[in-house]
Structure 1
Amino acid sequence: MGHINLQNEMMEQLKTKELMEQAKTYAYDYIENLPYMDVSPSCEALENLLKFEEKMPEESASPSEILFMLHKYGSKATVAKSGAKYFGFVNGGVIPVALATKWLTDIWDQNSGLYIMSPIASKLEEVCEKWLVDLFGLQKGTAAGFVSGSSVATICAVTAARNKLLFNQGYDVHSKGLFGAPKIRVVVGEDAHSSVWKALSMLGIGRDMVEVVPTDDQGRMIIGKLPPLDSKTLVIAQAGNVTGGAFDSIEEICTLANQASAWVHVDGAFGLWAAVSGKRKYLTKGLEKADSWSVDAHKTLNAPFDCGVVLCKDRDSLVSAMQASGSYLQYSDHRDGMLYVPELSKRARSVELWAVIKYLGKVGIEKLVDDLCDNAEYFAEKLTEQGFHVENNVVFNQIVVKCENSEITSATLKNIQASRKCWCSGALWQNEPAIRISICSWQTTQKDIDDCVNIFVACRRLATPVIM
C-alpha cells in the first residue's frame, strides 16, 4: 500500500464505522448459520487455514480484506461450541445478552486492574462479588477475584492457602521465600483435576509431597481413608468430578478440617452451581464451611469465555497472596481488581458476568442449571434404551458411556467425532476407554438429544463390524 498516514486512516475508520458494520454483518451471518453448522470443521476448512501462513507483512494491509479473510476462512474453521450438539470439555454455550454485552465491552476495551482505569468494571466486580456470595450461600465478606478460568482461580486459592498455612507456623513467605520454609501438607483425591496438579506444581508442591486419598467408583474421596488432618494441611475437594460429575462429601471433609484448623479448597469449576438448584443443592452441602472455592461462569452459567472466579473467605489472605507494589500504581478507596488476582492487565469480564446474573436472576440460574442436569438424565436414559452402558450416577451434567467392549467404545467415539454432527470427548473410566458427555449449553433441547442418540447408534453400528 506504500507509505500512508496510519493515524489519519484509523481516525477515518472510526468515523465511518464501515469496519464495524462489516464485522456486524459477518457476526450476524455466523449466528444465523450456527444451527445448521457441523459441530467441527470440515477437512476443506482446515486445509484453508494454510492461507493464513505468510511471511511477516512489510506494509499495511486492507482492514476490510482482513475481516473478509477471517470470515471466509476463519468462521468455517471454528468449533460450534455455542450450538446445541457440542458436548465436549464442559464448554458452555453463551447467553445472548452476555454476547451482546461482550460486543459492547470490546468497544470499551477496559483494563479492570485498577478503579482509576475503569470505574464501571470496578463497580461491577464489587456487585458480582456480593451476588456470587449470596448465590452460593457463603459467608458475607468473602472475597472474589475475576480471572480467565478455574485453572488460574485454583492457583490463586492454593497460593493464599499455602501462604496462610506457613504464616500460621510463624513463617512469612513474602519476605523469606519458599527455600527453607516449613513443610505443609496437601491432601487430594486420586481423581483430582489436572488443573489442581498444575497449580500445586507451579507453586512448588511436587507430586511426592501430596497425600492422595483413594476414591470410590464414582471418583469421590473415601472419607474413611482421609489421613489425620492438622493446622498445616490443605485439603482440596471436588464439586463435580471432571469425568463423571460426582461430588466429594464436602460437609464431612470440612467438618474434619475445621476441627483440625486445616484449610479446605473446593474445586467447583462447573459443579459449584449445584448450590443454586433446590433439587441439587444437597450435592454441595457444607460448602460454606470451606475456606476457598474456584468456579467458572463460562461453563454451567453460559457466560462468554473467559470468565473464572476465585472466592476466598479470608479476604486478607487472598489480597496478601496477590500483592503487588510500584510507585506508578494508583490505588483507590474503591475496589481495585488487581488486588485479588495475579494480573494488573485484565479484561473487564465482570461486565459480562453481571449481565448474565442480572438477566437470569436466582430463578433463571436455577432453571438453567436444572435444565442442563435434566437433559443429562434424559440423554443417559435414551442411550440406555439403545443398549449403551451408562457407567456413572448422573447426578449433574456429566455422562460416562461405554459400549460392549473397549474396542467398540473407542471406535464409536472416533466415528461420532468424524461425523461432525455432534461432538463429545473421550476419557478413561475405571482405567477403560469411555465416551464423556458434558451437557453445558442452554440451546440443547430433547429433540437435539434424540438426534444425537441416533448418531450414537449409527456410529456404533459402523464400529461393530470393524471390530467383530
Structure 2
Amino acid sequence: MPDRTAALQAAVRHAETYLSGLDERPVAARATAPDLVERLGGPLPEHGVDPVRVIDDLAVGVDPGLVASAGPRHFGFVVGGALPAALAADWLVSAWDQCAAFHALSPAGSAIEEITSRWVLDLLGLPAGASVGFVTGGQGANTTCLAAARHAVLAGAGWDVERDGLIGAPPLRVLCGEQAHATIHTALRLLGLGSGTAVSIPADAQGRMDPDALRDALATGSGPAIVCAQAGNVATGAFDAFDPIADACAAHGAWLHVDGAFGLWAAAAPATRHLTRGVDRADSWAVDAHKWLNVPYDCAAAIVAHPDAHRAAMSLAGPYLVADPGQRDNTTYVPESSRRARAVPVYAAIRSLGRAGVAEMIERNCAQARRMAGHLAAIPGVTVLNDVVLNQVLVALPGGDDANRAAVAAVQRDATCWLGGTTWQGAHVLRISISNWATTDEDIDRSAAAITAAVRRD
C-alpha cells in the first residue's frame, strides 16, 4: 500500500516552504503553461510512481507557474488569500472526503452548512429565514439565485418552468444596470433566458444603476420581471441605491436579485454598512467567500429570501435518494450532487475572526485602498477615476490607452505587486483591488512605490 503519511508530510513540507516565502516572492509567474506542460507532461505513465516522488516533482515542477495571488500584494482581481484557520480546515475537508450533498452521507456536512448559513445571514444583515446554498463561486451563486427567481416569477404567471421548460412560457423580462457583471449575462445564458436579452438600464459615472430609469423601464412593460442590482461594482466598488430600486420592484411585482460577490461583505463592517442600506429588501443575493472572507477556492453563497422557490429550482429527486425527515440535504440548495463540504472553511474563517475580526479586515482593506489612491494621485498627470468608497481604485495615466497598457505590463514585469487593466467608459485604465487579510500598510507603500517607478520608466 502507498505510504499515505509520508505523502501528506511531503505536501505539508512543500506548502510550508511556499507559504513562508509568499511575502517576498515575486507576484507574477515566471513560466507559462506551455513551459509547465514541457516540465510535467509526457506520455501517460505505464506504471505508478511513489506518492512522495509525485508530490515532490509536482511541487517543484509547478512552482515557476504559480502566481502569488494568495500573497499580500496581488491587486489584479478581487481575490483574497486564505486565512490560516480556513486553509487548515480546507485540508481537513479533503482528508475527511465527505460528500456533503445529503445528510445520510454526511451529518457533519449538513450541520456545518446549517450553522454557517445562520452566521453568514447574521454577518450580512439579511433575513434570518432566507435559505443558503454553498456553491463554487460568484457565477454559481448568481445562476442559482436567478434560477430561483425564474421559478418564482413564472410560477406567479401560472407556469411551472421546472416541469414544462421555457417553450411556450410567458415572456420574462430581465433588467440590469449597464455595468452588470459578466456572470449575470452568463447565468441568463445558462438558464435559457439568453445572455443578450436583458434590458440595460443606464448607470452613472461610478457605475450605479439609475433607479428612475429602472422605474420607467418597468412601467413600459408587463409580465414577469427580474431586476439585477449590484453591491460593489467590479471596477469602482460603487453600490446601487437599493431602497429606490426595491421600491420600483415592489410596485411592479419584480424579483430583485443583488450581485454582491465581494461588495456585500461591506454589510459586515460598521464603517461601510451604509453602502448596503436597503439591500435586505431584495429577494436573492450572491456573495463570494473566497473574495473577501479569505477562504480557499471554491466557495460562495446563493442566498434566497424565499426558500420554497430556492428548493423548487434546485431540488434533486430519485428512488434511491431517501431524505432524512427534518434534516438538511445540502443538495436541495445547489445545482450539484457530488460535492465537497465547502462550507467548512467558511465556518473556520468566521469562527477564527468573529464579527469584530471580519469588520476589521474589511475596514482595513478599504483604508488601504484610500492609501493607495493617495499615493498614485501624487504621480504627475495621474487621475484617480473613482470615488474610493470600498476596496477598488481606478487610475488613468496621461498618454491614453497605450500608456496605460504599457504601465500595466511594466508593473507586472517588475513583480513587486500585480495589478490588471480594464476598460472603463471606453478607455483602458489600471485597476487595483485590495481584499487580502495579509496585506499591510507597508505592502501598500511598497507597491505604490513600485507602480510609480514603473510608470515613470515607461
**TM-score normalised by L of structure 1:** 0.94
Question: Where does residue 76 of structure 1 map in the other structure?
Answer: 64
> Does structure 2 conserve the Cα–Cα contact (< 8 Å) formed by 1:49 and 1:77?
no
1:283 maps to a residue whose letter is: L
Matches of 2:34 and 2:352 in 1, distance apart? 37
Give the aligned partner of residue 405 of structure 1: 399
Code of the aligned partner of 1:362: R
Counterpart code for 1:366? A
1:428 is aligned, of 423, 431, 448, to 423
Deviations 1:124-175 (CA, angstroms, capped at 9, x unpaired): 1000111111112222210000011011010011111011111101111122
What code does the residue aligned with 2:329 have? D
Corresponding residue of 1:277? 269
The Cα offsets for residues 264-296 of structure 1, whole Å up to 9 and x where unpaired, read as 000000000111111111111001100000000
In the alignment, structure 1 residue 446 sits paired with structure 2 residue 441: yes
Equivalent residue number for residue 76 of structure 2: 88
Q: C-alpha separation between the residues in 2 aligned to 1:153 and 1:95? A: 22
Rounded Cα–Cα distance in structure 1 between residues aligned with 2:101 and 2:233: 32
Partner in structure 2 of residue 242 of structure 1: 234
Whether 2:386 is the aligned partner of 1:392: answer: yes
Give the equivalent residue in structure 1 for 2:116.
128
Does the alignment pair 1:23 with 2:16? no
- Corresponding position: 1:304 with 2:299: no
Q: CA RMSD in A?
A: 1.4
Equivalent position of 1:228 in the other structure:
218
Aligned to 1:379: 372
Matched to 2:407, the amino acid is T
Question: Number of paired residues?
Answer: 451
1:359-394 CA deviation, whole Å, 9 max, x = no partner?
111111110110111100110011112232110011
Letter matched to residue 444 of structure 1: T
Rounded Cα–Cα distance in structure 2 between residues aligned with 1:43 and 1:110: 35
The equivalent of 1:363 in structure 2 is 356
Assess if the C-alpha contact under 8 Å between 1:215 and 1:222 holds in 2: yes
Q: 1:366 to 1:179 in 2, by over 3 A?
A: same
Of the three residues 337, 359, 379, the one matched with 2:330 is 337
Q: What is the alpha-carbon distance in structure 2 between the residues aligned to residue 291 and residue 168 of structure 1?
A: 14
Residue range with higher mean Cα deviation, 25-34 or 183-192 = 25-34
Shift of 1:46: 7.0
Q: Is the contact made by 2:176 and 2:229 (CA closer than 8 Å) also made in structure 1? A: yes
Partner residue in 2 for 1:3 = none
CA distance in 1, matches of 2:235, 2:362: 18
Is 2:247 the partner of 1:259? no
2:173 touches 2:223 (CA, 8 Å); kept in 1?
A: no
Supply the distance in 2 between the matched residues of 1:375 and 1:159 (Cα, whole angstroms): 37
State how far apart, in whole Å, the 1-side matches of 2:399 and 2:339 are.
47
Are 2:195 and 1:201 aligned? no
How far apart in 2 are the matches of 1:208 and 1:269?
Answer: 22
CA distance in 2, matches of 1:380, 1:246: 15
Instruction: For 1:111-126, list aligned pairs within 5 A.
Output: 111-126=99-114
Note the alpha carbon deviations across 1:320-379, whole angstroms, 9 max, x for none: 000211111121121110000000111111111001111111111110110111100110
Shift of 1:251: 1.3
**Residue 456 of structure 1, aligned match among 448, 451, 455:** 451
Q: Aligned partners of 1:43 and 1:218: how far apart in 2?
A: 37
CA distance in structure 1 between the aligned counterparts of 2:24 and 2:32, rounded to whole angstroms: 17
How far residue 442 of structure 1 moved from its aligned partner, in angstroms, is 1.2
Corresponding residue for 1:5? none
Q: Which amino acid aligns with 1:404?
A: P
In the TM superposition, what is the alpha-carbon distance from 1:100 to its structure 2 partner?
A: 1.1
- Looking at structure 1, the residues matched to 33 and 411 of structure 2 have their Cα atoms a distance apart, in angstroms, of 19
Distance in 2 separating the partners of 1:25 and 1:93: 19
Retained in 2: the 8 A contact 1:49–1:73?
A: no
Render the CA deviation track for 1:226-282: whole Å, top value 9, x for unaligned.
112566110000001111111111111011112222100000000001111111111
Q: Does residue 1:190 correspond to 2:178, yes or no?
A: yes
Which stretch of structure 1 is more off in the superposition, 253-262 or 112-121?
A: 253-262
Name which of 170, 174, 193 aligns with 2:162.
174
Paired amino acid for 1:403: L
Equivalent AA in structure 2 for residue 428 of structure 1: T
77-86 or 306-315, larger mean C-alpha shift: 77-86
Comparing 224-233 and 206-215, the one that deviates more? 224-233
In 2, the alpha carbon distance for the partners of 1:309 and 1:44 equals 32
Question: Which moves more between the two structures, 283-292 or 250-259?
Answer: 250-259
Pick closer, same or farther for the CA change 1:39–1:211 going to 2, 3 Å: same
